[in-house]
């Protein structure tokens, strides 16, 4: 039986609902496509190891692309976009300071991903009944008989991220090693609160930080990170855990905010639903993050409120510089986090530039003196998406009820009656 999925497409401000097959074709539609200009790949590392620049670079338009203006005279970046990719925020050590992959490296990564998709799309063998059996799963971070998801229910990306045709080794371009700088000893770790980029609140294997520093959550934290550049592994809280209370469970688990880094501070992709919709107005820009339906409202040419005013995911002010929307976000709550540390003093600067009809360059700079002595940042490109795939989350789900019940039982309370 063909799996079908309800796909919501926004066209010209109208919402159109259609049924489409969900499989490799639909999954690939939301992934970055081949660049409209010939790919500029790096040669062998020993001869042409391109080193990342020390800061944000000027956007480069693809050959033949002429930016257009909207009805308000602004550079047109409105549309549906996806940032699903096999690439990571941070760089694996095997690449060193090299910014661009070789053709052989790209072929190996993308070939392996296609093999994983084909395997994970096959029906689960019903003859396998051992619930304790372990297998090598094609969905990162999952194990066991059912392996979490068939490929049709995920969207982790199947292509290496390109920037102006170059297959990149990481999103971070400065420092040159593709890693955040070493944090200050006085940096404040945050365990509970809304997920931030590279933290431990996403689905196992993706929310573990996409190669970030190990998650700070003790007592079985959710999804500790793998080695540098890798994808985090699963966690799972269990037993008598003081964090297992309604107030201390993460807001993402309660479907109140975005998982992982979907909404930022650095917007990064997750295991699925890497869908965004940007809508421009005369005085503001709305960035719709479909993962739990977070909407970032960017006020244009305005001012931030007093520093004492704190907001979940900060206060965003934007302005246009040429073909680029520049967004500065401050006034984060102390519970917000970036790389597992409090984002309270964070000034996040993001730049959105349409560099081709179907490509949107996203550049980010992290300024947080309480956590790092120097700024760091990088870039990647969104790809045009056919629309928005709905993420139907509801508060608490079954997980929260089970977690709270388990904690009560661990304290000696009897099991509640079956429904």
Domain borders along the chain are 1-419
pLDDT, residue 329, reads: 97
Long-range pairs for 327-331 at CB < 8 Å and ≥24 separation?
A: 327/285, 327/298, 327/351, 327/352, 328/304, 329/264, 329/265, 330/304, 331/304, 331/305, 331/307
Print pLDDT tens along the chain (419 aa): 333 333 333 333 333 223 222 233 333 333 333 333 333 333 333 333 445 556 678 899 999 999 999 999 999 999 999 999 999 999 999 999 999 999 999 999 999 989 888 877 777 666 655 555 555 565 555 655 556 666 777 788 899 999 999 999 999 999 999 999 999 999 888 866 665 654 433 332 333 333 332 233 222 233 333 333 333 333 333 445 666 666 666 666 677 777 678 888 999 998 888 999 999 999 999 999 988 888 999 999 999 999 999 998 899 999 999 999 999 999 999 988 899 899 999 999 999 999 999 999 999 999 999 999 999 999 999 999 988 888 877 665 677 777 778 777 777 777 777 66
pLDDT, residue 140, reads: 57
Is residue 379 within 8 A of residue 367, CB to CB? The reply is no
In degrees and rounded to multiples of 5, residue 117 shows phi and psi of -60, -45
d(CA 50, CA 113) in angstroms, rounded, equals: 25
Number of alpha carbons in the 13 Å side-chain half-sphere of residue 82? 27
pLDDT, residue 195, reads: 59
d(CA 143, CA 134) in angstroms, rounded, equals: 6
d(CA 354, CA 339) in angstroms, rounded, equals: 28
pLDDT, residue 271, reads: 82
pLDDT, residue 141, reads: 54
pLDDT, residue 250, reads: 63
Number of other CB atoms surrounding residue 193 within 10 Å: 21
pLDDT, residue 196, reads: 60
Measured in whole angstroms, the distance separating CA 181 from the mean position of its chain's CA atoms is: 20
pLDDT, residue 312, reads: 85
């Amino acid at each position: 039986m063909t799996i079908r999925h309800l796909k919501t497409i926004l066209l010209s401000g109208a919402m159109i609902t259609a049924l489409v097959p969900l499989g490799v074709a639909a999954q690939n539609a939301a992934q970055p496509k081949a660049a409209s200009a010939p790919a500029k790949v790096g040669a062998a590392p020993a001869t042409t190891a391109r080193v990342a620049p020390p800061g944000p670079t000027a956007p480069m338009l693809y050959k033949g692309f002429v930016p257009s203006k909207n009805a308000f005279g602004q550079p047109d970046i409105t549309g549906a976009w996806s940032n699903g990719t096999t690439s990571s925020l941070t760089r694996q050590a095997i690449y060193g300071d090299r910014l661009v992959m070789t053709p052989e490296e790209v072929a190996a990564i993308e070939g392996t991903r296609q093999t994983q998709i084909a395997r994970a799309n096959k029906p689960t063998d019903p003859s396998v009944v051992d619930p304790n059996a372990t297998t090598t799963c094609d969905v990162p971070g999952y194990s066991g008989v059912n392996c979490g998801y068939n490929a049709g229910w995920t969207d982790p990306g199947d292509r290496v991220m390109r920037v102006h045709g170059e297959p990149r080794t990481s999103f971070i371009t400065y420092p040159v090693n593709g890693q955040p700088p070493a944090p200050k000893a006085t940096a404040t770790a945050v365990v509970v609160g809304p997920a931030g980029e590279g933290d431990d609140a996403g689905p196992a294997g993706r929310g573990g930080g996409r190669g970030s520093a190990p998650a700070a959550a003790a007592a079985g934290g959710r999804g500790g990170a793998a080695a540098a550049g890798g994808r985090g592994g699963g966690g799972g809280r269990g037993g008598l855990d003081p964090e297992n209370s309604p107030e201390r469970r993460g807001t993402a688990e309660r479907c109140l905010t975005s998982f992982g880094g979907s909404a930022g501070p650095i917007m990064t992709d997750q295991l699925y639903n890497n869908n965004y919709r940007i809508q421009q107005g005369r005085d503001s820009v709305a960035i719709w993050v479909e993962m739990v339906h977070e909407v970032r409202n960017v006020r244009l040419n305005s001012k931030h409120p007093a520093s004492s005013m704190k907001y979940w995911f900060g206060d965003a002010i934007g302005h246009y510089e040429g073909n680029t929307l520049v967004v500065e976000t401050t006034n984060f709550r102390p519970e917000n986090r970036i790389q597992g540390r409090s984002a309270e003093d964070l000034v996040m600067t993001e730049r959105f530039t349409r560099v081709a009809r179907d490509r949107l360059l996203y550049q980010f700079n992290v300024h947080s003196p309480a956590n790092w002595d120097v700024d760091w940042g990088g870039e990647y490109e969104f790809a045009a998406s056919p629309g928005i795939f709905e993420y139907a989350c509801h508060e608490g789900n079954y997980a929260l009820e089970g977690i709270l019940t388990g904690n009560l039982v661990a304290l000696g309370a009897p099991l509640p009656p079956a429904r």
